[in-house]
């Protein structure tokens, strides 16, 4: 319980800090080639080729899912993103072996880009009630945050938000689609590569 209250404080602080710069998309000008071998990690199967930002060598995680929705874009993590989505089972927020592998890869990038601040978004499939799914998404984002923290990434660099079932990647009503929507997504809010 003590650790939780400590989290509220830093979470609130982070919100203030990040709120000021949230709308801007920070791209990582280099290093994308080096990380491209990570594209085989778990969660990557959910991506489909989306044409945005094609032609550049910049690595980006894309903008927040809410901003994507407002701009009429699917909230897809670009294939070139150095931070991969983590996938979950229905009504679960524990991390599978695949999820842990993905998070280790994300932690590697965060270690080599120490000024980067990231917002972890928790998402759910459409089944169940909105409020429960908002809570479940918060659990998923927090599970990812805590695992990254256990790998030595400062929790001060990681904020969380839950969008519940509200901003799906895929809108069909079947398991093929639902599994793509049960995810934690990582959006870089600020911080370029220091390498």
Partner 1 sequence: MRSRSLLLLSCLLLSVTKIAHGAVTGEIVGQGGQRFPIAVVPLKNLGANTGDSGRVSTGIADAMVHDLELSGWFRVLDRSAYIENAQSGITLGTFDFKDWSTIGAEGLVKGGFSIQGDEITVELRLFDVYQNKERIGKRYTGRVRDFRRIAHKFVDEIINQFTGVPGVFNTRIAYVSNSGGRFKEIFVSHLDGSEKFQVTDNHTINLSPVWSPDGRSVLYSSFKDRGQTLYLFELYSGKEIKFTPRGGGRYLGGRFSPDGQSIVATLETGGNTNLYLLDRSGNVIRQLTSDAGIEVSPAWSPDGKQIVFVSDRSGSPQIYIMDAGGGAARRLTYSGSYNTSPEWSPKGDRIVYTGRVGNRFAIFTISSDGGEPRKLTSESFDSEDPTWSPDGRFIAFSSNRAGKYHLYVMQASGDNQRRLTGSGGDDTKPNWSPRLD
Dihedral, CA of residue 4, residue 8, residue 10 and residue 11, to nearest 10: 120
Residue 169 beta carbon to partner 1: minimum distance, rounded to whole angstroms: 14
Residue 134 beta carbon to partner 1: minimum distance, rounded to whole angstroms: 5
Distance CA 89, CA 25 (A): 30
Find how far residue 118's CA is from the centre of its chain: 8
Residue 36 beta carbon to partner 1: minimum distance, rounded to whole angstroms: 32
Closest to partner 1 by CB, 108 vs 146, is 146
Q: Which residues bind partner 1 (CB under 8 A)?
A: 1, 4-5, 7-9, 11-12, 15, 19, 22, 66, 69-70, 72, 91, 127-132, 134-136, 138-139, 141-143, 145-146, 160-163, 166-167
Residue 50 beta carbon to partner 1: minimum distance, rounded to whole angstroms: 17
Phi, psi of 17 (to 5 degrees): -65, -45
Closest to partner 1 by CB, 59 vs 88, is 88
Closest to partner 1 by CB, 14 vs 59, is 14
Closest to partner 1 by CB, 19 vs 54, is 19
């Amino acid at each position: 319980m003590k650790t939780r209250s400590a989290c509220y404080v830093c979470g609130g602080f982070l919100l203030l800090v990040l709120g000021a710069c949230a709308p801007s998309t920070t791209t990582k000008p280099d290093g994308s080639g080096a990380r491209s071998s990570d594209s085989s990690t778990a969660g990557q199967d959910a991506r489909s080729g989306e044409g945005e930002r094609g032609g550049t060598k910049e690595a980006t995680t894309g903008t927040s899912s809410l901003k994507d929705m407002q701009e009429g874009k699917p909230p897809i993590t670009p294939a070139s993103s150095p931070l991969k989505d983590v996938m979950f089972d229905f009504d679960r927020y524990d991390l599978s072996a695949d999820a842990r592998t993905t998070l280790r890869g994300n932690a590697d990038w965060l270690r080599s880009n120490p000024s980067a601040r990231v917002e972890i978004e928790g998402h759910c499939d459409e089944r169940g009630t909105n409020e429960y799914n908002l809570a479940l998404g918060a659990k998923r984002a927090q599970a990812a945050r805590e695992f990254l923290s256990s790998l030595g990434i400062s929790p001060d660099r990681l904020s969380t938000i839950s969008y519940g079932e509200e901003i799906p990647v895929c809108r069909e009503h079947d398991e093929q689609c639902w599994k793509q929507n049960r995810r934690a997504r990582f959006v870089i809010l600020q911080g370029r590569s220091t390498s």
